Amino acid sequence: MAGNPDFDLYTISEEHEALREAIRPVCENKIAPHAADVDEESRFPSEALDALVEAGLAAPHVPEEYGGAGIDALGTCIVIEEVARVCASSSLIPAVNKLGSLPVILGGGEEIKKKYLPKLGAGEAMFSYGLSEREAGSDTASMRAKAKKDGDSYVLTGQKSWITNAGESEFYTVLAVTDPDGERGRNISAFVVEKGDEGFDFGEKERKLGIKGSPTRELHFDNCRIPADRLIGAEGEGLKIALRTLDHTRVTIGAQAVGIAQGALDFAVGYVKERKQFGKAIADNQAIQFMLADMAMKVETARQMVYVAAAKSEREDKDLTFFGAAAKCYASDIAMEVTTDAVQLLGGAGYVRDFPVERMMRDAKITQIYEGTNQIQRLVMGRQVLKGY
């Protein structure tokens, strides 16, 4: 599935459907049985990681030339969607592996690619992404982390916040200011930091509303010295590489949101067919059918937006910035709506942990926030419209 795919904007190929058919039983048999415990215990979904590594899909996007599966952007979205359908926390394994490593793929030279991508593709390591800080979330250019050149090394100081899979990943793409007196936004560079680097440590795990199986922690750099060959691209190109990365990976968050919404819809449909009130299944009530119709219509619309954006991501179309933001924004809003409606359809049962829809509702919320809040996505889209996207 490597290379430039030849598929229509609004359909997917037999090869992509075969990928879905291959990953679904892995999800249902090896990931879904542990999803509730992963959430309840706030523990990393090691069973999911093992299953995905065994299937060769923990980092499906890694090109074949570096030992990966070489699955295109749409196929990667399908993998993430199917995993998220049963466990949102587990879907962050392939999603964040792409987010963390894409700067290396987009901006790195051959030497740094050969050093890190084969380990990722083989499932020997995971890759996280360090961009945000306590005072630099949406305004990433205001970051304070610094990397000072010292001979054949860089010395990193500062911190990063809200880092997904922190502590579990072996590698981290980290953005830091390399020219404090330089032009804002053009003075930032990107580096690969390894888990074992001296002076690199992690904060405590955040106590979160959802995606509890995916650890979120701060990264701390206390005079962390790394070799100069860990620089991704050239000095000053970091923010450009980071924002280009997000154009692509926002699409994967859209895929995650679609998967969460589909999982909630699937469970709600099964429940309303079984639940009886007034002598008949509540699915026979027109009001329930109208809710299900709206939920399904929204999920399918979101899915089509994500798939179109994925096709544009693979081709690196000029209007990807708009479509990536639109897919992420719409799909995540729909995931929140659909999971909320699923809870409603289950009534009291939807509000307790014996059923998965309350977990799905909690998990869905973060998709409206990370990789750029949906308010920021609307700013991005508005600017693209004004430029004539």
Contact 78, 14 (CB under 8 A): no
Amino acid at 1: M
Amino acid at 101: S
Backbone angles phi, psi at 129, to 5 degrees: -130, 120
DSSP label at 204? P
Distance CA 60, CA 98 (A): 8
Contact 247, 384 (CB under 8 A): no
For 90, other C-beta atoms within 10 Å of its C-beta total: 30
DSSP label at 351? G
Task: Find, among 336, 330, 338, 334, the residue nearest to 291 by Cα.
Answer: 338
Distance CA 215, CA 45 (A): 10
Distance CA 127, CA 119 (A): 10
DSSP H helical ranges for the chain: 14-26, 32-41, 46-55, 73-86, 88-107, 110-121, 238-274, 286-315, 320-346, 357-366, 374-387
Q: Is 269 helix (H, G, I), strand (E, B) or coil?
A: helix
CA angle (191 as vertex; 114, 323 as ends), nearest 5: 85
Tokens of 3: 């290379």
Distance of CA 173 to the CA centre of its chain: 15
Contact 204, 162 (CB under 8 A): no
Contact 23, 87 (CB under 8 A): no
Rg (alpha carbons) of the chain, rounded to whole number: 21
Q: Which of 81, 133, 314, 371 is catalytic?
A: 371
Amino acid at 280: K
371 is known as an active-site residue? yes
| Catalytic center residues | 371
